[in-house]
Structure 1
Amino acid sequence: MKLRVLQMFLLICSASVLMVSCTKLDLTPTNDLIADNVYTSVGGYKQSLAKVYGAFALTGNASVGQPDIPTEIIKDEGNSDFLRLYWNLQELTTDEAVWSWQSDGGILGLHELNWSSTNSIINGLYYRSYFQITLCNDFINQSSDDNLNKRGITGADADQVRKFRAEARFIRAFQYSVLMDLYGNPPFVTETTEIGGKELPKQIARKDLFAYIESELKAIESDLAAPKANEYGRADQAADWALLSRIYLNAEVYTGTARYTDAITYCNKITGAGYALHNNYRELTLADNHLNKDEFILTINYDGTSTQNFGGTTYLMHGPAGVPAEVSGSSGNWGGLRITQQFVNLFADRTGATDSRAQFYMTGQNLEVTDLYTSTDGYSSTKYRNKTRSGGAAPHQDVAKDFSDIDFPLFRLGETYLTYAEAVLRGGTGGSLTTALDYVNRLRTRAYNGTAAGNITQGALTTDFILDERGRELWYEAFRRTDLIRYNKFTTAAYLWAWKGGVRNGAGVSSKFSLYPLPPTDLSANPNLRQNPGY
């Protein structure tokens, strides 16, 4: 079943709030839902792992140890969804997206690249990432070999739980990669950090966090399921390789040292594991995209009946301005998300008749974003549609059509092909320009409806071409900010888009905006932390 892991989460979430142990008081809850009762079998551990995964797609303050979420976020619970927060910081700050409602908490200043340390979206993602890290740390503790032995879990059952533990370590590494990319030098906590102890978390340097993530991903590789051998929506070795290739592509930003050869190494592992491009690009983000196991490596799973909130792909389905309900498969649009003309112009034919990746809604929408907060300025997206590939209703459509069934691809083969090509062009070894060109043309052949009309020659394959192609292939999948930073085009005047820097035609801004600030509440509570430069 598509949502098996998250459905288990719904059964266990009310119990799991009691699973985090207290280090100062020895109190037993009045019910029997304590760790030693929950973690008595492989089934109990699997249900608890479902909560760890569920934190990707569900909202709310459901655990001991959950940091305070900013008030503006709580007012609209959908804003506390991990993906909506992450997506906003990766896309609304770039040429790919603007949002109409300046009264929404945290929106003002994002697209203009002029935010402060009190921005509720910036602070909200920080706390949401640490929420999932907290869940991971507790699960890793509870699944230690000592605890397995104490609870009489041995043999094949213990081996299965160790695989679960490796998955929790992967999710923790993923969230630390998010913090490394967006915040640079965050506080660092693992399963060995004492909750409530006298020592507050220490800050970790970005290059040291990179080394930790790298070592964790390599350490768990053999414990994870083989590629495609795990349940849909759960991490396996290919997800591990995909995250390694992603951080290696950006290693020079994070550490000052390029690691393009390593990026190629892990791309080669993925391409040798039996993945293939799904034959229809527009089916990648439909309501039955759980069928795309040929290309998808790891997804965040959403379900119209089991994961109801106004974040995630529900936000990407409803958010685009002007899109009729019959097009999006929803109850209607929120008049919010729009796209700058600079990004639209990456497509030679914006109608989508030539390159099927151009999925813009233009009726009643102006190409130019003349006013940043006018909902008709800027084309909209029809990329996320809550319909099946046959045009039918979503498999788990709620009656009101308010919620999305569309899974979000965290990793897919299309990204791997482009990472490989860029790493080769930047001088990495272990690959070839011939293969790089082949990978890019495979993507373009799919985009051009199975024809070679969009194929390019070796001479056209440059790093600048790859940046544009990543835009066309991966748009609205939460890559753009990171890509522009790697190309030194995010804060600088080397590339301008509408209202960058708060100017209609765009302007360069301070380099400090390449990192988000740490929340002032954490700085005041923890003297071990120092704010990022410029804030």
Structure 2
Amino acid sequence: MKKAFYYIPLACAALLGFSSCEKYLDVTSETQKQATQSFKNIADLRGATAFLYCRPWYTTNTSVREITEARAGNLYVDGVTGELITTALFSEVANYNNIANSWASLYLVITQADYIINDYVKTAIENGVNESEAKACEAEARFMRAAAYWYLANLWHDVPIIDDPRNHTLNPLTPPHRFEDVVQYAINDLIFASEYLKDTDTKGRVTKDSARGMLARIYLMAANYAMGNHFSNDYISRNNAGSNSGLADNYFEQVKKLCQQVVEGGYYSMLPDFEQLWRTQNNNNSETLFGIQFIPGITEWGYTSPLNDLAYNRELTGNLNGGGTIFVSYDMLKSFVDDGAVARMRGSVAVPGQNYNYIGTHLSAGSWTVPSGKTKVNLKKFVVGSSKDTDGAAVQGNTGLVSPMLRMSEIYLMYAEAALGKQQQTNDAVALAYFNKVRERAFSKNIQNFVPATTITRDNLFTERRLEFFYETIYWTDLKRRSFYDMDWVLNFLNNKLKDSDAETPFTNYASWAYTYDPLLYPTGKGWTNSPRAQSGYKPQAVLHNLPAGSYVHAVGATSNIWCLPYPSADVTTDPELTSAPINYDFN
């Protein structure tokens, strides 16, 4: 019997048809004018916001994921050329597809959100739609816009704030805005969203607690930026703080308050089994505060998730997709093995010998056991298996899985990090309870090995977040946040220099070094043999941060491939102002 899949119906499909949803973004088309005049009831308006949960994020799901995970040292591919490996070695160039696709996807989210905020909500209210319901739709759009700017700021640092796409079309020569103003802009949107979103809503739609969680994430980034004394005096003054240090303290307190509100609200909770997060039958489960709503059972481009491509082979998916050439890196895999939490490792990576009774149900064995013989380990997270495994959700090119973008476990770990604040360790009772809650779930399949933490250090949190959010775009943003106040540590980690002063450090980054791990073939080496080893032609990564006083990250002569990717070459061609000095945003 097929189960019902929870997802947000893309009402724009009913309103305009799948293909014509694109015309929402065409500022000169007659369709745009007709759409603006069509919002006569709340269903029309919620149809427009439903579109924000899927199509605009389509390439974010793949391109941003690959960029962030490669830069974080979490992925391995054979060879030393190609987009993914050169991204891992910080040698990416401006014409890479992933760079262009990520930029375009995130600004697509912003453009559609802008129309809802500027036009559709106003039109709906004028047409008699209840104002509070219309404001809730505006809050959804502001949530999405803030989330997109969070990614843009993490990837490119200084980026243009586009709050009216029509003006941008008339004058496309737009310089970037300062990183701190992009942060403030996103904060303002999320404050609005946390006030006007609903307490509860249709499964898959964001709520007040979703906005609180996303706001906590941005406050945490801002607190780290303040720890490095980077905010300008006008930003500090605008936020009623006397110094960067005071601003950091304020933000940490806000993070704790927001996370506590989410926990005490009770609407979201962690699933007891980590593996169950990555099954289509559990789409929009209690742990997901925000997810990209890919639609089960369809093949329409833009509404599908192709992440079954990561599968060990095509047999596993019933010949839908698979045989992926992206593997977990040596360093990431070693972190899973050394940590010892079986449930989380099984849900994240496909270790030889592990059996899964819920995928491979179409096979003669009725389940799937990871074969022995590969030298590298495939990813398991986001791989859902065959059509039978998913009750019909997975089809060619589409897993049907909602991609979680903000989970309850992050709420717990953000609270712990905020309790740590500027210290190097904490034994705060609430922070310990939340930290241990996440770790206990990770050990649910070998609970006898779980040892509750009695103290949390910065490195403990860093490792825990890397393990918990592998392939979820998070660890790279953690590295960038840490670079705001501890650049030397991040440079040494990314350039694999920490081991030079501490031979036992768990923070190595061999990037594209090959390895062999197979517990069935090499039990005496605990699964390892001849690992890690440099690939032929390998050149060590050279991660740099050289920002002369008074300069900016994209300036000629500045070198910071930590704080920013190159702007997409096609966009620089059409807007040469992109590479100019960032300007202040006028919040008045």
Query: Residue 517 of structure 1: SS of its match in structure 2?
Result: coil
TM-superposed deviation, 1:239 = 1.3
The yes-or-no answer on 1:52 pairing with 2:41 is no
CA contact under 8 A between 2:74 and 2:332: conserved in structure 1? yes
Residue number in structure 2 paired with 1:418? 413
Instruction: Map Cα deviations across residues 313-372 of structure 1 (whole Å, 9 max, x no partner).
Output: 432x2224x34633x5663523311012211111346886476556433449xxxxxxxx
1:330-479 pair list within 5 angstroms: 331-348=320-337, 353=342, 356-357=345-346, 359-363=348-352, 376-386=374-384, 393-398=389-394, 401-427=396-422, 433-449=428-444, 451=447, 453-459=449-455, 461-479=456-474
1:74-153 pair list within 5 angstroms: 81-100=59-78, 106-145=83-122, 147-150=123-126, 152-153=127-128
Partner letter of residue 117 of structure 1? Answer: A
Partner letter of residue 208 of structure 1? Answer: D
Segment of structure 1 superposing worse, 524-533 or 433-442: 524-533
Residue number in structure 2 paired with 1:266? 258
TM-superposed deviation, 1:185 = 0.6
State the identity %.
19
Residue number in structure 1 paired with 2:141? 168
Stretches of structure 1 that go unaligned for 5 or more consecutive residues are 59-80, 365-374
The yes-or-no answer on 1:498 pairing with 2:510 is yes
Residue number in structure 2 paired with 1:529? 578
Task: Give the 3 Å change call, closer, same or farther, for CA 311–323 of structure 1 in structure 2.
Answer: farther
What is the alpha-carbon distance in structure 2 between the residues aligned to residue 269 and residue 491 of structure 1?
35
CA contact under 8 A between 2:45 and 2:121: conserved in structure 1? no
CA contact under 8 A between 1:496 and 1:506: conserved in structure 2? no
What is the alpha-carbon distance in structure 2 between the residues aligned to residue 17 and residue 123 of structure 1?
18
TM-superposed deviation, 1:209 = 1.0
Residue number in structure 1 paired with 2:291? 299
CA contact under 8 A between 2:7 and 2:295: conserved in structure 1? no
Residue number in structure 1 paired with 2:362? none
Partner letter of residue 378 of structure 1? Answer: K
1:281 pairs with one of 250, 256, 274: 274
TM-superposed deviation, 1:247 = 1.3
Stretches of structure 2 that go unaligned for 5 or more consecutive residues are 231-243, 354-372, 484-489, 499-506, 514-533, 546-559, 583-588
What is the alpha-carbon distance in structure 2 between the residues aligned to residue 17 and residue 314 of structure 1?
20
What is the alpha-carbon distance in structure 1 between the residues aligned to residue 168 and residue 26 of structure 2?
8
Instruction: Map Cα deviations across residues 406-458 of structure 1 (whole Å, 9 max, x no partner).
Output: 21111111111111112212248xx9711111112112221222736312332
The yes-or-no answer on 1:510 pairing with 2:522 is no
CA contact under 8 A between 1:491 and 1:510: conserved in structure 2? no
The yes-or-no answer on 1:10 pairing with 2:44 is no
Partner letter of residue 114 of structure 2? Answer: N
The yes-or-no answer on 1:318 pairing with 2:330 is no
CA contact under 8 A between 1:330 and 1:403: conserved in structure 2? no
Q: TM-score scaled to structure 2, two decimals?
A: 0.73
Task: Give the 3 Å change call, closer, same or farther, for CA 324–446 of structure 1 in structure 2.
Answer: farther
TM-superposed deviation, 1:462 = 0.9
Query: Residue 158 of structure 2: SS of its match in structure 1?
Result: coil
The yes-or-no answer on 1:233 pairing with 2:223 is no
What is the alpha-carbon distance in structure 2 between the residues aligned to residue 114 and residue 411 of structure 1?
29
What is the alpha-carbon distance in structure 1 between the residues aligned to residue 541 and residue 7 of structure 2?
47
The number of residue pairs the alignment matches comes to 480
1:251 pairs with one of 222, 226, 242: 222
What is the alpha-carbon distance in structure 2 between the residues aligned to residue 350 and residue 433 of structure 1?
23
Instruction: Map Cα deviations across residues 6-40 of structure 1 (whole Å, 9 max, x no partner).
Output: 443433333444445757xxx856xx981255323
Query: Residue 410 of structure 1: SS of its match in structure 2?
Result: strand
Q: TM-score scaled to structure 1, two decimals?
A: 0.79
TM-superposed deviation, 1:232 = 1.7
CA contact under 8 A between 1:201 and 1:528: conserved in structure 2? yes
Partner letter of residue 66 of structure 2? Answer: N
Q: CA RMSD in A?
A: 3.4
What is the alpha-carbon distance in structure 2 between the residues aligned to residue 296 and residue 354 of structure 1?
18
Partner letter of residue 148 of structure 1? Answer: A
CA contact under 8 A between 1:351 and 1:360: conserved in structure 2? no
TM-superposed deviation, 1:3 = 5.3
CA contact under 8 A between 2:11 and 2:47: conserved in structure 1? yes
CA contact under 8 A between 1:350 and 1:360: conserved in structure 2? no
Segment of structure 1 superposing worse, 354-363 or 229-238: 354-363
TM-superposed deviation, 1:253 = 5.0
What is the alpha-carbon distance in structure 1 between the residues aligned to residue 318 and residue 73 of structure 2?
26
Instruction: Map Cα deviations across residues 204-251 of structure 1 (whole Å, 9 max, x no partner).
Output: 10011111111121123221011xx11122111111111111112222
Residue number in structure 1 paired with 2:568? 519
Query: Residue 306 of structure 2: SS of its match in structure 1?
Result: helix
Task: Give the 3 Å change call, closer, same or farther, for CA 453–126 of structure 1 in structure 2.
Answer: same
What is the alpha-carbon distance in structure 2 between the residues aligned to residue 99 and residue 10 of structure 1?
38
Task: Give the 3 Å change call, closer, same or farther, for CA 423–138 of structure 1 in structure 2.
Answer: same
Task: Give the 3 Å change call, closer, same or farther, for CA 87–101 of structure 1 in structure 2.
Answer: farther
